Structure 1
Amino acid sequence: MTDYPRLTVGDAAPTFTLTDQNGNAVSSSDLSGENVIVYFYPAAMTPGCTTQACDFRDSMTSLTAAGYRVIGISKDDSDKLARFADRDSLPFPLLSDTDLAVHKAYGAYGEKNSYGRILTGTLRSTIVVDGTGHVTLALYNVKATGHVRMLRRKLGIDA
């Protein structure tokens, strides 16, 4: 198993173009000049991923007010992402990375310990990218529950 290099503060964020839940292409270059929270999650509509997505949804007002956009990325296809966004009223883009190329470029794919078993898959990760395209925060193997609250503290956003 090959582990993919993780990003660190100051790194240039890898560029990408992926399809969102509505079938539209979204490119990292479209986000130039903006602070973006890019979070990777294992699978749409699973309990942990739903908790995390809804926490982001419920924090959108304060995240937006603080100057951040949120983008979720998973290996799910656009149809499943559309159902997820609709079911949970998610107000941010969900991008489909079915070949895992962006996961790997961001270091969000590799070996993980799941209840004592070593598996290969998506590492629940959050990367914050500034308006110049550089990483300002890189968090790997985060927990679904409480992650957004912890992220808000790290970003200096009142809970």
Structure 2
Amino acid sequence: MVTGSSLPAPAAGQHAPAFALSNQYGELIESSAMGEDAFFLVFYPFAFSAVCGSELEELQKIHSEFTAQGVRILGISVDHKFALRTYAEQIHCGFDLLADFWPHGAVAKRYGAFNLESGAATRNTFLIQGERIIDSFSSPIHQARAITRYRQALELLK
């Protein structure tokens, strides 16, 4: 999906790579524990950056809408969990922010969402259910993903 990425991103219908990462509170979040529950895996470059902050704040505004439909949001960046906790408090984030800190960007790389040149995650989103990719979309590094695109993806679950 993105130039300089380590692997191609998995496409709709393909198996979603497994992950186990700490969230901003140090709790282990494992994809295998999600069962048949749907979730958005939202890769973003860095905490405390302008575009990432505005994008995550927009997701926070519709978080309850997604939760009501049984869909979780998991943000994921290469930042450390301690940085993510401070960041989550600053932007009043009510969903999990996962630390793909070490090995550096390992999960982002498996999802084709790691920019080798910048060492950061790219703006890729995957809707996952039952260990399968349902939908995926991305945006350029300096452009937030449209909230309407998340809603379009949710329609695929109905």
How would you bin the TM-score normalised by the shorter chain?
0.7 to 0.9
Matched, 1:12 2:15: yes
- Percent of paired sites with the same residue: 26
Shift of 1:149: 2.6
Shift of 1:70: 0.4
Asked whether the equivalents of residues 108 and 140 of structure 1 are also in contact (C-alpha less than 8 Å), the reply is no
Q: Structure 1 residues 148, 2: CA separation in 2 closer, same or farther (over 3 Å shift)?
A: closer
Question: Aligned residue for 1:128?
Answer: 127
The residue type equivalent to 2:76 in the other structure is I
Matched, 1:88 2:91: yes
The residue type equivalent to 2:115 in the other structure is G
The residue type equivalent to 1:29 in the other structure is S
TM-score, normalising length: structure 2: 0.86
Shift of 1:102: 0.2
Q: Structure 1 residues 51, 17: CA separation in 2 closer, same or farther (over 3 Å shift)?
A: same
Computed over aligned residues only, the root mean square deviation of the Cα atoms, in angstroms, reads 2.0
Unaligned runs of 5+ in 2: none
Question: Aligned residue for 1:73?
Answer: 76
Unaligned runs of 5+ in 1: 112-117
TM-score, normalising length: structure 1: 0.85
Give distance in 2, aligned partners of 1:81 and 1:39. Answer: 14
Work out which of the residue numbers 63, 67, 82 in structure 2 matches 1:64. Answer: 67
Shift of 1:120: 5.9
The residue type equivalent to 1:73 in the other structure is I
Shift of 1:26: 1.1
The residue type equivalent to 2:71 in the other structure is Y
**1:139-150 to 2 correspondences below 5 Å:** 139-141=137-139, 144-145=143-144, 147-150=146-149
Asked whether the equivalents of residues 40 and 73 of structure 1 are also in contact (C-alpha less than 8 Å), the reply is yes
Matched, 1:25 2:28: yes
